[in-house]
Amino acid sequence: MNLVLMRTTPNPDRLVAVAARRCYSSRSADVIEDKISEAEIARLLDFLRQRNHLSPFEHADFSFSVDGISRALSHQLVRHRIASYSQESQRYVNYMKVDTLPFVTPPSIAAKPEALETYNKAIEQTLAAYRAMVEAGVPPEDARYIFPNAIETKLVFTMNARSLFNFFEQRCCIKAQWEIRALAMAMLKEVRKVAPNIFKNAGAPCQYASNPYCRENDPKCVMFKAMKERLYENEQTRGTEEINR
């Protein structure tokens, strides 16, 4: 898998903060931006996340390029509908000239020699069948129907910060399928470099520093017990702070 963060909205942290301030100020946007400090940006973005006031985050866009992923992953990725996708077309890729079909191998298969041998043979047979059909006069766009979910694909896609919050909550979860979880973790690492305040608390919600929770409320998850303990500790700390006031 090769992920690149290609483009972002300039100064995404600042833009979201200014957009949020716009809701409560009669001043012009340029004055709001001139007055707002880095400390205020950090405080305001934390406040927005805590209050679940997420519409200002829609102003910040992030465009990624990824290759070396499977169609199994891309089928999951495009279920996140508030996004824009441009994907390599199997109709126009010439698979008659490739030496081997580009594909992704799950680690669970790679770890078992007999399974890996079976898997690789099936991939080879798929390419051979595709070529035989094309040589028999079947249009490539129809012959491609035989390709497996394992076949490699490439995408450019864009999401705004609010959509990314939802994506990271679902796909950074330990219960997410391994390949899209690897993509989500790589994406989160990249966006934190350019928008550290926006994505400071993004990711699997069981890992949130404050108010952690499980989206699936699944006590059988290996992370569930630690999440509940951290939540209890946070509640105890807040209770102590209230008493001290």
The CATH number for 165's domain is 3.30.1360.170
**pLDDT at position 240, please?**
65
Give residue 244's pLDDT band: very low, low, confident or very high (50, 70, 90).
low
Q: Clarify whether residues 67 and 5 are in a common domain.
A: yes
Per the CB < 8 A criterion, the answer to whether 157 and 77 are in contact is: yes
Q: Clarify whether residues 60 and 165 are in a common domain.
A: yes
Q: Clarify whether residues 141 and 158 are in a common domain.
A: no
- 């898997």: which residue's tokens? 119
* Mean local confidence (pLDDT), 215-221: 86
- Give the residue with greater pLDDT, 244 vs 198: 198
Q: Clarify whether residues 42 and 56 are in a common domain.
A: yes
Q: Clarify whether residues 169 and 132 are in a common domain.
A: no
Does residue 209 register a pLDDT over 80?
no
Distance CA 40, CA 105 (A): 47
> What is the average pLDDT score of the chain?
92
Q: Clarify whether residues 42 and 131 are in a common domain.
A: no
Measure the N-to-C terminal CA separation of the chain; round to a whole number of Å.
51
Q: Clarify whether residues 158 and 85 are in a common domain.
A: yes
Distance CA 13, CA 198 (A): 6
Catalytic residues: 171
Q: Which residues of 107-199 form beta strands (DSSP E)?
A: 152-160
In this predicted model, what pLDDT tens digit does every residue of 99-149 receive, in sequence order?
899 999 999 999 999 999 999 999 999 999 999 999 999 999 999 999 999
Give the chain's domain count.
3
Q: Clarify whether residues 77 and 3 are in a common domain.
A: yes
Q: Clarify whether residues 156 and 39 are in a common domain.
A: yes
Q: What is the pTM of this model?
A: 0.89
Does residue 245 register a pLDDT over 70?
no
Q: Clarify whether residues 123 and 26 are in a common domain.
A: no
**pLDDT at position 80, please?**
96
Q: Clarify whether residues 156 and 69 are in a common domain.
A: yes
* Mean local confidence (pLDDT), 224-237: 79
- DSSP annotation of 52 reads T
**pLDDT at position 211, please?**
79
Pick the last residue of a domain from 111, 131, 150.
150
Residue-range definition of the domain harbouring residue 227: 204-245
| Distances in whole angstroms, Cα of residue 38 to Cα of each of 11, 43, 197, 216 | 11, 9, 10, 36
Q: Clarify whether residues 163 and 178 are in a common domain.
A: yes
